[in-house]
Amino acid sequence: MLGQRVITAVVLLALLLPALFASATWPFAVLTLAFIVAAGWEWARLNGATGAVPWALAVGTGLLAVGLAFAASPGDVCRSCDVGAVSWAVGGLLALRLGPAGWSRLPKAARLAVGPLLLAVAWLALTRAHAAGINFLLSVMCLVWVADIAAYAGGRMLGRHKLAPTISPGKTWEGAVSGVLGVLLLGVGWWLADRHFGVAVPGLSSVLVARFGIPGALALLVLLAGASVVGDLFESLVKRAAGAKDSSGLLPGHGGVLDRIDALLPVFPLVAVLALR
């Protein structure tokens, strides 16, 4: 298992790094679109689709994402991200309240339709973050990764009170608080590093401080850390409703694409709303 994880990680990095640092924006957009399409296929399977339907939903996810990108003016992009952020704030929290059993009772067509919409908007926001600059994009991605790592470490060491026992029994409130603290430390550190090195493209926390001041930026970093938890829990809810451990086996040793990007999905539209207008 460890060997598979390492090999898969190396292959993904070999694909991602050249696309990330390419002078043109299209290699990164195309590569991440492929991941979004794969995630659409996984979403369909997790929600009971069989036969040709998962493939159709995967293609539909890609077409929707590309359609939004090519048809949207800058104002339309902002509105799409607004819709994505609100959908996560309302729909995501409502789904978590329903739990796995309540999710399964929702009409299948509605459950299938949700995935492509959330994935397409997240991809649109991701490409906007990449266009803003590598430092900005990495600051957002590292925020999500640090939230996850700090939550895991804090939960292992201090976890006593279950966060969502019917959805993800391993997650605790202590872990969630540890994740928030990790994000705050990262945000402050990134802001100080941006100031010290005088970077041409500021990171997320620097943009938030410039727009909302230090207290506002800290509050929004907490909000973004919470959004990453919602994304993680939402995918866990869908997997539990489907009786699945992983979203798929597309990434040997790592599970599926959704398993790797779940926490990013609500964060990028919210970042676009807060920092990329």
Instruction: Give the pLDDT confidence score for residue 134 in this predicted structure.
Output: 95
What is the Cβ-side half-sphere exposure of residue 11, based on CA atoms within 13 angstroms? Answer: 11
SS3 category, 251: strand
Instruction: Give the pLDDT confidence score for residue 89 in this predicted structure.
Output: 78
pLDDT band (50, 70, 90) for residue 81: confident
Question: CA 50, CA 186: separation in Å to the nearest integer?
Answer: 42
Range of the domain at 261: 2-275
pLDDT band (50, 70, 90) for residue 73: low
Instruction: Give the pLDDT confidence score for residue 90 in this predicted structure.
Output: 80
Q: Angle at which helices 173-197 and 134-158 pack, to 10 degrees?
A: 150
264 contacts 119 by C-beta, under 8 angstroms: no
| pTM (2 d.p.) | 0.93
For the chain, the helix, strand and coil percentages under 3-state DSSP, each to the nearest 5? 80, 5, 15
Structural domain total, the chain: 1
Question: CA 5, CA 190: separation in Å to the nearest integer?
Answer: 29
User: Tens digit of pLDDT for each residue in 214-243?
Assistant: 999 999 999 999 999 999 999 999 999 999
Instruction: Give the pLDDT confidence score for residue 91 in this predicted structure.
Output: 83
- Longest CA–CA span in the chain (Å) reads 55
pLDDT at 3 over 80: no
**Mean local confidence (pLDDT), 63-83:** 75
